[in-house]
Amino acid sequence: MTFQNSKKISKIFFSIISRVVKKNAEIHEPIFFGNELKYVKKCLDTTFISTVSPFVNRLETEFCKYTGSKYSVALNSGTSALHLSLILSGVKKNEEVLVPTLNYISSANAILVANAFPHFIDVERKTLGVDVEKLRKYLTKNTTKKNNLCFNKKTKKIIRAIIPMHTFGHPTNLKELLILAKDFNLIVIEDAAEGVGSFYKNKHVGTFGEIGVLSFNGNKTITTGGGGMILTKNKKIANLARHISSNSKVIKKWQIGHDKIGYNYRMPGINAAIGCAQLENIEKIIKAKRKLFKLYKNEFNKIKGFKLFEEPKNCRSNYWLQTIILNDNMKFKRDEIIKFCNNMKRKTRPVWQLMHKIKYLTKYQRMNLSNAEDLEKKIINLPSGPQIILK
Ligand SMILES: Cc1ncc(COP(=O)(O)O)c(C=O)c1O
């Protein structure tokens, strides 16, 4: 295809987006139209701005109701929630943790900080999550079972856990994944950082594994400014999460003591206050994001070569990031399209750099990653914030 054609394609792509979003649209902006100011003011008025705050307890209670999780623990980021999850689920030094390579960097970093090793796995096109069938074949060939543990034949290390991720808010294939995890004795830590408000067969993502992780970063579906959460049905894990995320404090009369290594990972009240207000409007926000998907779909359907990614069957996705998958011909135009749209003030961007290609992660174990490598060339994220519809 000639440069002329490239330019034409970029112009067509841009004109589709500009029919849906106005100038200066970001990839994802938060929206505040509820009780945020009122609750933050209450925090300031009562001085309970830090981690000991009624708003932290309230956010946890409300999230248990919304997600159906038995317990929830509010933390200061999704990344710290991932790190705690690895510790709490019993991942030990020098063990391996399976993690999709098409991913945000947090899970690989959390694994390394927990003194374990990431082991990169492939994704499927249907959900953009773990390719369970391919992984089963890989594990069958490359692992052995001893004392009910899964050992990597090559490294002789225990493969202890798997961190499936719900990419751009779309639920991964949880049914097959949970069967595989059971068959290979893998602990499941669901990275549902992008999936707040997404449901797999009417059950909120993050509630299927031993532990689920949510993120409330400023770019997520709802936000606390910065924040995260652990979801679990295990009381012991929830109690320990609360304890070690507060520096393992043991308070006796006036004396503050500490009984084990701890972390300063708890969510401050002022952030939880924003979260409580945001959660009150989550369904309005998701309704807007789903409407935005329909508007894009209507426009992109008219043109060949661009496929707007749609929620998997039996799922209710939050459509966190709207996603175009280019076809085999168009993938060579990805960078030109993105450049053109950004120059024309409509933010678009490629997917994250695949984790196994990041310099400090290249040395870790991996399976064949052909699907992720192909998808990496084809994905374009579009402006996706709820304010596009609601303002
Ligand atoms: C898949 C995924 N995991 C983890 C995180 C980390 O969350 P946080 O930014 O709250 O630390 C993010 C996003 O930021 C994410 O997209």
DSSP output for 280-343: HTHHHHHHHHHHHHHHHHHHHTTSTTEEE--PPTTEE----S-EEEE-TTGGGGHHHHHHHHHH
Is residue 2 over pLDDT 50?
no
Q: What is the pTM of this model?
A: 0.97
Provide the pLDDT confidence category of residue 60 given band limits of 50, 70 and 90. very high
**Candidate of 217, 220, 351, 381 to mutate for ligand 1, largest count of ligand atoms within 8 Å of Cβ:** 217
pLDDT at site 5: 79
Provide the pLDDT confidence category of residue 252 given band limits of 50, 70 and 90. very high
Provide the pLDDT confidence category of residue 361 given band limits of 50, 70 and 90. very high
Is residue 297 over pLDDT 80?
yes
Is residue 54 over pLDDT 80?
yes
Index of the ligand 1 atom closest to the CA of residue 228: 10
Is residue 102 over pLDDT 90?
yes
pLDDT at site 4: 55
CA of 329 to the centre of ligand 1 (A): 32
When pLDDT is averaged across residues 10-19 and rounded to a whole number, the result is 94
Is residue 354 over pLDDT 80?
yes
Is residue 42 over pLDDT 90?
yes
Provide the pLDDT confidence category of residue 157 given band limits of 50, 70 and 90. very high
Residues touching ligand 1 (Cβ under 6 Å) are: 77-79, 104, 106-107, 165, 191, 193-194, 215, 217, 228
Strand partners, 159: 96
Residue 37 CA: distances (Å) to CA of 175, 237, 277: 41, 33, 9
Rounded CA gap, 232 and 70, in Å? Answer: 6
